Amino acid sequence: MDKFTTLTGIAAPLPLINVDTDMIIPKQFLKTIKRSGLGVNLFDEMRYNDNGSENETFVLNKDAYREAEILVAGDNFGCGSSREHAPWAIKDFGIRCVIAPSFADIFYNNCFKNGILPIALPQEQVDLLMTEAEKGANARITVDLQEQAITTSDGQVMSFDVDAFKKHCLLNGLDDIGLTMENVASIDRFESEAAQSRPWV
């Protein structure tokens, strides 16, 4: 997995609540058996017109945000389907950090497995970053995972929470399965005990 340490980049504003994973990557793009190449279809139904041309009013189609690496959005981001194609598409587009007042549980977990940092902040702070993001390409935001700090272009700093284990994995680009395998003796022990106590499983 790719590491996430610090990131300085353009933040794109998407001031919508309940952005669901169908919106992030519609089902017709779930037909792939690969993880790559989904970026071009990120937010497909909002991003393209029926004839396939770009919808120029959509934020990621505006020149200032084509290179965005951070997304600032509304409450309950990533709700709905468990499809990991959603973070795959976000990452493939080039976005490495999503900031919102809250995230849906499965999407939040999926981000960490793909080198994306989701940051939940109080509404007032998201509002402030949304205003900042609306300034366009000149307003670059810095996200420092080690320090758990976000710095705006005019030097305002805000801190954020992240689970210590998830932070450790993201900072070092660690593979979850490899880490779990270090505890394989515990799994073996549990499995043999459970075979005695709950043999019907």
Q: Does 23 bind other proteins (CB under 8 A)?
A: yes
The residue from 84, 141, 152, 158 that contacts other proteins (CB under 8 A) is 84
User: Which 47-66 residues touch other proteins, going by CB under 8 A?
Assistant: 50
| Span near other proteins by CB under 8 A; candidates 62-70, 80-88, 131-139, 140-148 | 80-88
Spell out a b/e string for 26-49, using b for 16 or more CB atoms within 10 Å of the CB, else e.
beebeeeeeeeebeebbbbebbbe
Rounded distance, CA 123 to CA 183, Å? Answer: 39
15, 39, 94, 136: residue in contact with other proteins (rule CB under 8 A): 15
22 binds other proteins (CB under 8 A): yes
Question: Position of tokens 């284990």?
Answer: 165
144 near other proteins, rule: CB under 8 A:
no
- Residue from 41, 102, 125, 152 in contact with other proteins (CB under 8 A): 102
User: What phi-psi label fits residue 62: left (phi over 0), alpha (psi between -120 and 50 degrees) or beta?
Assistant: beta
Contact of 96 with 4, CB cutoff 8 Å: yes
- Tell me if 184 contacts other proteins by CB under 8 A: yes
Binding of residue 148 to other proteins (CB under 8 A) = no
Which tokens hold the place of 123? Answer: 């509404």
